[in-house]
Structure 1
Amino acid sequence: MRTTTTTLALLAATAFLLPAAVPATAAPRIGDCAPGELCLWAKAAFKGPRQVYDLTRIDIESCTPLPPGTDAQSLANRTGRPVTAYQSDECQETAEFDTYPGGGTWVPQVPYRVRAFKVWES
């Protein structure tokens, strides 16, 4: 009995020495980008104005530039197909570009400003 009481007292005392849990960085809510959509945010960490594209509004394997004067710094690819994001607004491969797998890829900070994209067949 005394051992149990001592153990409980030690556990209670050490609980105050443990660091408090640090809240995780707020992840985007799944509802912010629905299945079948490509979502692009103007700012990093899924902040700022959001542009949403789905497969009914774009041509597969064709360059889709963002509206003039806009770009994106974070993206979510939930199309189920690979998407290449381009720094060039003409999808030129002389500038930066990366391909992100489909289905549920969340990229809080693209390493360049996205100005166009292509959705691939698979």
Structure 2
Amino acid sequence: MRVRTGAHRKDPAPMRTTLTTLACALALGATLLTPAEAAAPARTGAGSSGACGRGELCLWPGTGYGGRRTVHELSGTDIESCVPLSGRAGALSLANRTGRPVTTYQSAECGETGEFETYPGGGTWLPESPYKVRAFKIWER
């Protein structure tokens, strides 16, 4: 038995159901309209100018994959050894398709006193590094 305390009150259940349905619809719509790139700075897909073949570590001197690309492959790189980049330019964008993790270093000696970051090897594109990359290491796994 239900007791009403006033004639002006109605059962709020239909309104709660409507509001819940509306909130779910808005959340789903916002998810579908949000670009995937907005979620992560390091992408997992080839950029239009960031072409890099399977098994390669590709480095560019400019942001947005600008400048002449330098390619390093496992066959010509010692695993877990510091590889300084030649020249003064360094790299400001990269793509890692080696299949192994790669750590990039701000220091040309792979020193951990400067900035460094490790990127997965399954396919990582970084159009703008937070620092000038001067050396890298490719890890076993």
TM-score by length of 1: 0.75
Letter paired with 1:27: G
Q: Sequence identity of aligned pairs in percent?
A: 60
* In structure 1, C-alpha distance between the alignment counterparts of 2:137 and 2:130, rounded to whole Å: 17
Higher strand share: 1
Superposition RMSD on alpha carbons, in Å? 1.8
User: Do 1:71 and 1:114's aligned partners in 2 also have CA atoms closer than 8 Å?
Assistant: yes
Structure 2 stretches lacking a partner, 5+ long: 1-45
User: Do 1:28 and 1:46's aligned partners in 2 also have CA atoms closer than 8 Å?
Assistant: no
User: Do 1:78 and 1:105's aligned partners in 2 also have CA atoms closer than 8 Å?
Assistant: yes
* In structure 2, C-alpha distance between the alignment counterparts of 1:36 and 1:27, rounded to whole Å: 17
Deviations 1:71-96 (A, max 9, x none): 00000000000000000000000000
Higher helix share: 2
* In structure 1, C-alpha distance between the alignment counterparts of 2:49 and 2:66, rounded to whole Å: 12
Moved over 3 A (4+): none
The aligned residue for residue 140 of structure 2 is: 121
Kindly report which structure 2 residues correspond to 1:92-111, keeping only aligned pairs within 5 A, or say none: 92-111=111-130
Kindly report which structure 2 residues correspond to 1:1-122, keeping only aligned pairs within 5 A, or say none: 27-28=47-48, 32-122=51-141
Deviations 1:30-81 (A, max 9, x none): 7x21000000000011111111000011100000000032300000000000
* In structure 2, C-alpha distance between the alignment counterparts of 1:111 and 1:27, rounded to whole Å: 18
Structure of greater Rg: 2
* In structure 2, C-alpha distance between the alignment counterparts of 1:105 and 1:98, rounded to whole Å: 12
User: Do 2:60 and 2:93's aligned partners in 1 also have CA atoms closer than 8 Å?
Assistant: yes
Letter paired with 2:47: A
User: Do 2:58 and 2:96's aligned partners in 1 also have CA atoms closer than 8 Å?
Assistant: yes
Shift of 1:29: 5.1
* In structure 2, C-alpha distance between the alignment counterparts of 1:28 and 1:107, rounded to whole Å: 13
TM-score by length of 2: 0.65
* In structure 1, C-alpha distance between the alignment counterparts of 2:132 and 2:49, rounded to whole Å: 23
Aligned length: 97
Q: Secondary structure at the match of 2:67?
A: strand
Letter paired with 1:112: Y
